[in-house]
Amino acid sequence: MRRPACAGAMVVAAVIAGACGTEPGARNVPPPAAQVVETHAEEGNAIHLSEDMLRDLRISTASVVERSGATEVAVLGEVVADQARYAEVGPPSAGQVVQVLVDTNGPVARGTRLAQLRSTDLGRARANLLSAEARRDLARQTLDRKRSLADERIVALREVQEAEGAFRAADADVRAATASLQALGVSEDVGASSEDGSLFYVRSPIAGRVLDRHAVLGQYAEPSASLFTIADLSRVWVMAQAFERDAVNVRLGSTAHVTLAALPGQEFDGRVALVGRQVEPGSRTLPVRIEVANPSGALRPGMSASSRLEVAGQSRSILAVPAAALQRVGDRWLAFVPKAQYEYEMRPVGRGRDLGNDVEVVSGLRAGETVVVEGAFLLKAEAEKRAGGADENGH
């Protein structure tokens, strides 16, 4: 059967819509070019990924959070042990190390034996004490016997008085020998399990871990020497230096946000516990002590740290996302918001100030919305590829 001429016109160009407009039930069909433009208008701000692409692309997301927008200053510092939970342990008396009982990183409790030393001074002091105690015991026995004989009128009262004087002298010698032993700083249980009275133990004064061990066998250690460094690192300090113009506005108890070069991508919240009163003349800075909880032990003494401190002034709430969530495409910043399976909306946003590992968002997002963090850079590459393809096609 012969096809009407008007049907061929519909295939060639939809703009000849009126050519067959007289047919019953006919619809106005937009031209093909109009269909393409409409499709891009709907999908121009969305990226669709295939299942294979999504499998190869590692995606992680984060929520847009609301946080304090108080004015902040950045300061540099260093992680140190909490000085209330820190000890450098040396021998109470000079002596030679004969046994080391703990090693670096080992956990210790309060009173744990760390090392055993031999001290000639200690041996002499203990020997003097034992001799003094023996003389006192003998003097007491003599006094008791003299008193008994005096009661029976066998000896004169003068002999009792002489025995009492001898006992008092012997007791004074014991007290002097005890004081000499205590002056060596050694507890009474020294050598209790050994016949060698010159041996004693160095014990831990706190619970924690051995950060450093200097004791070696055969070493002769003076009381001024540090044989072990012990600390409880469940809480640490960050000692920062703030310029005087900023330090005077730092508030005690305010929150400090701490980042470390050794732990990129992680931020720790601490509390400002102290602002120094003495300005360092050379740098014109004041020390600021920040206390940070460290239950995992990730923060270690000596690590360099950067901290953001809140300073006095008007405070407001701001929105923040991880810095990696915002990607620059052309002349605008984009965030990628998951919309459906395999689909991500390219959301133009206003980028504010840097907040350490985060960045302020001034427009385009709402608190609680989800944005792509890991994988955002690859989505940016897909957006740039699409933008380049659009330019080549004249769109």
Each residue's pLDDT tens digit, 23-78: 333 334 343 333 332 333 345 688 887 777 777 778 889 999 987 766 778 899 99
Nearest to 221 by CA among 96, 87, 88: 96
CA 72/CA 255 separation, integer angstroms: 10
Q: pLDDT class for 12, splitting at 50, 70, 90?
A: very low
State the pTM of this model.
0.57
Could you tell me the domains of the chain? 5-41 (no CATH), 47-69+318-392 (2.40.420.20), 72-82+233-315 (2.40.30.170), 89-230 (2.40.50.100)
Residues present in the chain in total? 395
Q: Is 295 left (phi over 0), alpha (psi -120 to 50) or beta?
A: alpha
- SS3 letters across 269-293: EEEEEEECCCCECCCCEEEEEEEEE
- Is residue 238 predicted with pLDDT exceeding 60? yes
For residue 124, give every residue at least 6 positions away whose Cβ sits within 8 Å of its Cβ, in sequence order, or none.
Answer: none
Nearest to 308 by CA among 101, 76, 83, 98: 76
**Three-class secondary structure of residue 236 per DSSP:** strand
Q: What is the mean pLDDT of residues 134-156?
A: 87
Q: How far from chain centre, in Å, is Cα 102?
A: 25
Joined tokens for residue 99: 């046994």
